[in-house]
Structure 1
């Protein structure tokens, strides 16, 4: 028996149900498991719509390349070679399965509607070809159909969702599977043929590092080490970030106020179930307080809530969940948007955050909210353009949490912040960075005389707040006029 394991956002060996099942397929049969990762290039339908997963942003491409480099020898030690391809997964997966003579294809589930539709299409194609196909859980604490309201529908408000999910029993994590026999000559020969035919490629040929190579290697790489081993090392230090989390999580200058695990969860180097069990153990052992553990798990639940919303609503990165926001009178201004992207707005906390993002591929969550609020409210720029910038530059931007969080700030999403809640960056800085340590770290020219830092903000915060509220009233009037 030969099993093809199609890897996506699950670049790990610990607590990996699809990998464990694949190894069990062949353990006593003398067969083989082959891992496959595809740089997916989705098809486009007749109307120009995307079919399949959202294309990876530049930051995720860099991270995945380095994480795959680290994963390959870990899988090889389990007897599982890792191979690569590029193209439409609906063409690649069946072709690789056929070329290997695979009996089974396994993968971890995806939840965005277009990804689910693609996976269902591929499963149908495999079954029609006589190949068994199985999807497995692995990205969430609970499946979207397992956490529902009393009438059986999805939650649209976070707090009751959080309360219900808190009552769900989380299954224990799976150990790394025992090694299986490596592929024999027949499978190795088949892999060689697929490489000769150009269907399989070497990792560098996927082009994941083609864009901004100096940025990644000279700046972002100084802050991160992708890979499962580094993820597990970070997990071992997790108590340091969770301790006093409830009190310090909004302090951007506090290096210990977060765990740094978000890109690990995004790439699947670490399962959310493993993270959940780790923080619960830390609370039982007295390494962290029960209150801090609950505060951190609440953030895991927000991630979960985002994915459950995404399961039910396609294209949240470009379509407002609240339909009335489709007519919101944004004022697209490339000069303002570019000042925001480059940290040149003259508003210190936001500019420090945008510089942190550009240099490290990450930004503190409190500052993300403030920067997003400035962009789509004070500057009146379309929220989806800000979301796209975060998607391209954040190492932890995933297909659910990134757009759902942007829509929360913009007021157009589920359980959204009231539109009149417009974060004042100066007030936020005074509250969460009162000594200016965060600004001094990431925007040193702001505290240096004659540095050339913008002499004045691009907007007046008081005036622009009023304009944002006026725009909101104009949207409501436009919607009422259509009724």
Structure 2
């Protein structure tokens, strides 16, 4: 029988896994995961991402074992390890789902050419996105630079149906040398990761359960809930999508079924808003593939000379949630505790760093890379460039989130603030968004001593806004 190595990467699942499905249809399946130096250099090298990867691999390993397959784990150069396994098994083919990092694409093409020259069949598939990057272009046959136009175009494009889930596999009747997942040393050396277990269930089963719960209970309230950080009406699927625990195509078609089966207008609006977020993710990848410099370099050249005021002290206050602005601090505390941050609050904390503190977006991007379990190179880069105003489709330079008004509007009763800032829990709602305005007796009753138990604001909002506008004025001719 044909023997096919299925090289698993950002696709740690059984359902809608084109490489796995096609291999299962053609003969014996040999699932392989290789931790390479390229992976170390990519998004998977961050603490939070590696923690997630470790547990997703464990989940996949158990699932494959129940289906009669052993997951072979190797570490080293990808081509060397694949060549070794081909020699060990006399495999005829290597199938894998594509990755869209430019350096990885170059490496994968080199591997394809080398294996083909050795007489080994190589097939690749799109699995991580709804539309392979590069196929969606505007009327000028150029990459889209405006999300709204991109979104409208995708509504006229067909998405390939998800592949079925294999019910059985033909297995290799041979033992292969393999590392234990623990040998990859993906878990952080500090105990920070222990608290992540309380908030997440990495892996395919956890992803499917989360999707079912959201689609049945949270989807109908998504349109409103996505902006209210104290609500649980968001999908929480982003880390599963980032690691490939769940298929974006399966989510897309399930969402379309909800859209077509429910005539209630508010449900329709919520489903469409959710699907729009899936397309926002696509837009990020399509930008990344066309403009790989987006990860570290502003796409608007004028921003290379932006007058940033990077300071370690202010950056530390921001990272630790000690800015004196409750919504910003609550978001950064949530990030450190859970490895995630509510999307509305994510925009506010990013804006605060870039526009209130004038600290470069690259600094914030690097911190998110280390701490977000849902870190995704394309999404993260586009999000930060959007906030900074340096991307191709970005927030206007004069859009400076007021952290006080954002807090009052989206967490009026202070539920989110009290959860993540317990030192402010006893403060009356009237002052929860601006503790520095509370009278002394109110602060004493709430057991708060500003400057000790909770900081004064590290910068005045009005001053910061004026300073930011002056800084952006130096580059706005190109915005």
TM-score of the two chains, using structure 2 as the length reference: 0.90
For residue 262 of structure 1, what is the aligned residue in structure 2?
Answer: 238
Trace 1:185-196 onto structure 2 (pairs within 5 A): 185=174, 188=175, 191-192=176-177
Greater displacement, 355-364 / 244-253: 244-253
For residue 201 of structure 1, what is the aligned residue in structure 2?
Answer: 179
For residue 415 of structure 1, what is the aligned residue in structure 2?
Answer: 393
For residue 281 of structure 1, what is the aligned residue in structure 2?
Answer: 257
SS in 2 for 1:316: helix
1:86 to 64, 72, 75: 75
> 1:207 Cα deviation (Å)?
0.6
- Whole-Å Cα distance in 2 between the matches of residues 440 and 226 of structure 1? 28
For residue 14 of structure 1, what is the aligned residue in structure 2?
Answer: 15
- Whole-Å Cα distance in 2 between the matches of residues 89 and 340 of structure 1? 39
2:372 to 394, 412, 436: 394
- Is contact 2:10-2:243 (8 Å) kept? yes
Trace 1:418-433 onto structure 2 (pairs within 5 A): 418-433=396-411
1:133 aligns with 2:127: no
1:73 aligns with 2:67: no
Cα offsets for 1:414-471 (capped at 9, x unmatched): 2110111011110100111111111001111134423633331111111111111111
> 1:210 Cα deviation (Å)?
3.6
User: RMSD value over aligned CA atoms?
Assistant: 2.0
Cα offsets for 1:26-65 (capped at 9, x unmatched): 1xxxxx321112222139xxxxxx9x74452111100111
SS in 2 for 1:37: strand
- Displaced runs of 4 or more, over 4 A: none
1:244 aligns with 2:230: no
> 1:95 Cα deviation (Å)?
3.2
- Whole-Å Cα distance in 2 between the matches of residues 234 and 91 of structure 1? 38
For residue 2 of structure 1, what is the aligned residue in structure 2?
Answer: 3
For residue 40 of structure 1, what is the aligned residue in structure 2?
Answer: 36
2:157 to 149, 168, 171: 168
For residue 206 of structure 2, what is the aligned residue in structure 1?
Answer: 230
1:450 to 448, 451, 471: 448
SS in 1 for 2:324: coil
For residue 253 of structure 1, what is the aligned residue in structure 2?
Answer: 230
For residue 433 of structure 2, what is the aligned residue in structure 1?
Answer: none
1:179 aligns with 2:168: yes
Cα offsets for 1:257-282 (capped at 9, x unmatched): 20111111111111111111122222
Cα offsets for 1:306-325 (capped at 9, x unmatched): 01111111142211111211
Greater displacement, 172-181 / 13-22: 172-181
- Whole-Å Cα distance in 1 between the matches of residues 398 and 84 of structure 2? 53
For residue 336 of structure 1, what is the aligned residue in structure 2?
Answer: 314
Cα offsets for 1:381-423 (capped at 9, x unmatched): 1101101111111111111101111110011112110111011
SS in 1 for 2:91: coil
Count of residues in Structure 1 that have an aligned counterpart in Structure 2? 453
> 1:92 Cα deviation (Å)?
2.9
SS in 2 for 1:253: coil
- Is contact 1:70-1:227 (8 Å) kept? yes
Task: Identify unmatched segments of 5+ residues in structure 2.
Answer: 427-446
Cα offsets for 1:173-222 (capped at 9, x unmatched): 2221131222113xx2xx13xxxxxxx4211010101433x2112x1110
1:102 aligns with 2:91: yes
Greater displacement, 313-322 / 131-140: 313-322
- Whole-Å Cα distance in 1 between the matches of residues 38 and 211 of structure 2? 34
> 1:101 Cα deviation (Å)?
2.3
Q: Do the aligned partners of residues 342 and 455 (structure 1) sit closer, same or farther apart at CA in structure 2, a change above 3 Å counting?
A: closer
- Whole-Å Cα distance in 1 between the matches of residues 425 and 462 of structure 2? 23
- Is contact 1:343-1:355 (8 Å) kept? yes
- Whole-Å Cα distance in 2 between the matches of residues 421 and 387 of structure 1? 19
For residue 24 of structure 1, what is the aligned residue in structure 2?
Answer: 25
1:60 aligns with 2:49: yes
TM-score of the two chains, using structure 1 as the length reference: 0.90
> 1:99 Cα deviation (Å)?
3.4
